[in-house]
Structure formats: structure tokens, C-alpha cells
Amino acid sequence: MTHLRQLILDELERRNYSPNTARSYLHAVEKFARHLGRSPEQLGADHVREYQVHLFRDRKLSARTIAGQTAALRFLFVKTLRRPYLPDALPSPGSVGPANLIDPNAVLFMGTRRDSETERKQRKQFIHHVDQAADECA
């Protein structure tokens, strides 16, 4: 077990997180590090943003799943690595949604013909979760 993994587990246990949450958080951090090919200790806010784009664009994950991944990464950076919370790593409240993550000039907006009703709902949920997380950390 790596030193960082042990630190994460210690923080999760100290804060009385459930075993399922601990497993989910560890898995999210592992996938984040694997995607970027470096230790999470060497990564930062720009990498989180890049990873979120990857999850939306390439993996096509739901907004709820990405919100969970983001919560795990926020726990890693703020609670485990004791870095200041960086809200710039997340889309700003009131933004257009995932299109804001991808490219400011992107044509992927909520309500376009390409988006299914489910995708629009997921994007709204994602924005809601990001807003809640930002409020909790403020």
C-alpha cells in the first residue's frame, strides 16, 4: 500500500466515512491518477478540470457519477493533502453546465436537439451538486 493511499484511508476512518464511501473514493483517486499517469500528489486543479472533461466527453458518464468523482478528489486535495480548496477546478455556479467544462466556444448547450431529456436532467443535477459542494467548502 502506498503512503498516499494509507493517508487517504486514515483520513476517511478518522472522519468516520462508511466503508463503501472509502472504497469509492479510493477507486476514484486511482482512476484519476491512472488517467493522468502521475501520482495525485503531483497533480492540481487544472488536472481535475481536465479529468472532468475526459469523464464527460470521452467516458460519457452521468453528472451524478462525475459529482461523486469530484467529491473524492476534493477530499483528496483538501482533507488528505491539506491544500486550499480551489473552486476554479469546478464549473462556476450558474454556468451553462458541462459545455463550460469542455470549451467556452463549444456548441454543446443544454436543450440542443442532440441532448436527450435524460442528459439534460443529468447536467442540471451535476450543476446542482457542484453548487452544493462549492457552498460546503466556502
Q: What is the pTM of this model?
A: 0.63
Distance from C-alpha of 106 to C-alpha of 113, rounded to nearest angstrom = 15
Cα gap 68→24, rounded to integer Å: 8
Question: The CATH number of 3-137 is which of 2.40.50.100, 1.10.150.130, 3.40.50.620, 3.30.200.20?
Answer: 1.10.150.130
Most confident of 95-99, 116-120, 131-135: 116-120
CA distance 48 to 70: 8
The chain-wide mean pLDDT, for the chain, equals 76
pLDDT digits (tens, 9 = 90+) for 36-88: 999 988 888 888 888 988 998 899 888 888 888 888 998 998 889 888 766 65
Cβ atoms of 13 and 60 within 8 Å: the answer is no
- Residue with more model confidence, 70 or 136: 70
Question: All 3 cell numbers of residue 117?
Answer: 431529456
Q: How far is CA 47 from CA 25, 94, 110, 117, 136, in A?
A: 17, 22, 25, 30, 22
In contact, 70 and 86? CB cutoff 8 Å: no
Q: Domains of the chain: which residue ranges?
A: 3-137
Q: Letter for the amino acid at 84?
A: P
